[in-house]
Amino acid sequence: MSSTTQSTLVADKDWWRGAVIYQIYPRSYQDSNGDGIGDLKGITARLQHIADLGADAIWISPFFTSPMKDFGYDVSNYVDVDPMFGSLADFDGMIAEAHRLGVRIMIDLVMSHSSDQHAWFVESRSSRVNPKADWYVWSDPKPDGTPPNNWLSIFGGSAWHWDPTRMQYYLHNFLASQPDMNLHNPEVQDALLAATRFWLERGVDGFRLDTINFYFHDKELRDNPALAPERRNASTAPAVNPYNFQEHIYDKNRPENIAFLKRFRALLDEYPAIAAVGEVGDSQRGLEIVGEYTSGSDKMQMCYAFEFLAPEPLTPEVVRNTQNAFAAAAPEGWACWAFSNHDVVRHISRWGASVLDRDAYAKMMAALLLTQRGSVCIYQGEELGLTEADIAFEDLQDPYGIQFWPEFKGRDGCRTPMVWDDHATQAGFSTAAKTWLPIPVEHVLKSVNTQVGRQETVLEQYRRFLAFRRQYPAFAKGDITFHEASGTRLAYTRALGNEKLLCVFNMSAEPAAIALPQGEWLALDGHGFASSVNDNTVELPAWGAYFARHA
């Protein structure tokens, strides 16, 4: 197995703190067999790109056996690879090559729910008295036959689905084909931890935990209260979804989760250098929950909430307020920040739709993300400055988009295949005549081969900035102090020991002059932005940035 392969990695228990993690959506990264769908061998073939970029680790979205109703987030076998993506041998080969290149691998565990085709659920639904009858969340109907309470699914409608065999409802926070597991049952916890150990033994370096705050439900199945309109936030679900009309205090975010997270962490700690990052999906209490889940050293190493994945524009005030709110909610915790992922509109389109110079905007946003306090996730194609793809209804694959079209077009626009070579078939992603999602022409024009080696490109800016970040430990592990966060001006320092670094941003399309904090500052190279300093004021171009070290 890959764990015995020659590796350039050092067993550092703290490697995750300040790490840059590159997210791969396996269907869309690289197709190795010409079927139009990415796979594990394809990822292995492209690992050099990630090593050259300078990422510390990759997070791979689910590749487990699945009917693919939700593209892998509906798992039917937790300890095998779906044939669409390859085999366990392919996985072992991928780990071996990643470790040879000095890149760690984190995999996406989906433990709140499974596919309805998982053997566990097939047995559970077969009767009310079988050995796994209580492995999922079942309930009798109300006397009038309606669902047991008012809980809603993120994918629309009731979170309860009627099963005629058991003559009961089962809970599904997502698709009806994704029944929720009953983690109140210790046997379910044991089975999920056994699956986790399976991948640890194969040499993974960590996990991304999907929907970590959905693991437990209220045993009494109490109704969620209504949420006042002014408190509704569309970052967890799109604005057209009535899911936002409730305060989700009984269908998720339950206090029982803490004990399970401690069990999970104890398992990780049996191995030399394993880390986990949890996805906290909650628009009202996200940072508070992150604080609970990352406090001390016996739960998650890090979590991420949705503050920087929200549709609302990113402003200096939002950056400052988010960091300060995290520090208040999680004084012992550690965040993992992302601007884009496989579930949201790419940030270049989400926040920069009206920006004329998209490349300058992408470079500034990269520098902003990579100098935040916390670890960082970069989503594939982000390093190329890719925008959200416009997918026609007839090409949609995402059930979420199909359900809420056209007000919400789903997640396919951020999941289109990676573009490698503008001269190759399907931009070098596949030799197939048709790929699982179409590749936009505007993406082909930003292919890796068109950017590599050209200093003015977004890709080379990412490479330079990741190298720049590695030079200064304060960027990865230091504290953050804000000096200005108003209008379009943002300035903060990152400090670790005797190292103090200044980061200044002009978050606008117009030139700006920004006063520097008191002290003697020595400008640092490596950021790639034009600027000049006169009388302790830095002059920045549109979307400009300035970095300096305290003398």
Q: Quick: pLDDT tens for 295-308.
A: 999 999 999 888 99
- Percent of the chain residues past pLDDT 70, beyond the cut: 98
Average pLDDT over residues 519-530: 80
Average pLDDT over residues 371-386: 98
> What pLDDT does residue 3 have?
42
> What pLDDT does residue 240 have?
85
> What pLDDT does residue 526 have?
63
pLDDT over 60 at 4, yes or no: no
> What pLDDT does residue 528 have?
60
CA-nearest of 69, 80, 82 to 155 is 69
pLDDT over 70 at 2, yes or no: no
CA dist 359 and 386 (Å) reads: 9
Greatest CA separation found in the chain? 79
Domain 2-112+186-217+252-384 -> CATH class: alpha beta
Span(s) in the chain for CATH 3.20.20.80 = 2-112+186-217+252-384
Q: Name every residue whose Cβ is closer than 8 Å to that of residue 327 and which is 6 or more positions away in sequence.
A: none
Q: How many CA atoms lie within 13 A of 345 on its CB side?
A: 20
Average pLDDT over residues 103-122: 98
Q: Is 478-550 in CATH node 2.60.40.1180?
A: yes
What average pLDDT is seen over the chain?
95
What is the per-residue pLDDT across 193-240, written as a single tens digit (0 to 9) for each? 999 999 999 999 999 999 999 999 999 999 999 999 888 877 677 788
Facing residues of 486 across strands? 489
Cis amide leading into 406 (omega within 30): yes
Neighbours of 456 (CB within 10 A): 11
What is the per-residue pLDDT across 168-185, written as a single tens digit (0 to 9) for each? 999 999 999 999 999 999
> What pLDDT does residue 1 have?
44
The model carries a pTM of 0.96
What is the per-residue pLDDT across 285-297, written as a single tens digit (0 to 9) for each? 899 999 999 999 9
> What pLDDT does residue 233 have?
77
Q: Name every residue whose Cβ is closer than 8 Å to that of residue 297 and which is 6 or more positions away in sequence.
A: none
> What pLDDT does residue 11 have?
85
Q: Which residues are catalytic?
A: 210, 270
Span(s) in the chain for CATH 2.60.40.1180 = 478-550
- Range of lowest pLDDT (207-216, 238-247, 445-454): 238-247
What is the per-residue pLDDT across 26-77, written as a single tens digit (0 to 9) for each? 999 999 999 999 999 999 999 999 999 999 999 999 999 999 999 999 999 9
pLDDT over 90 at 490, yes or no: yes
Model confidence band, residue 113 (pLDDT cutoffs 50, 70, 90): very high
Average pLDDT over residues 490-515: 97
> What pLDDT does residue 6 have?
58
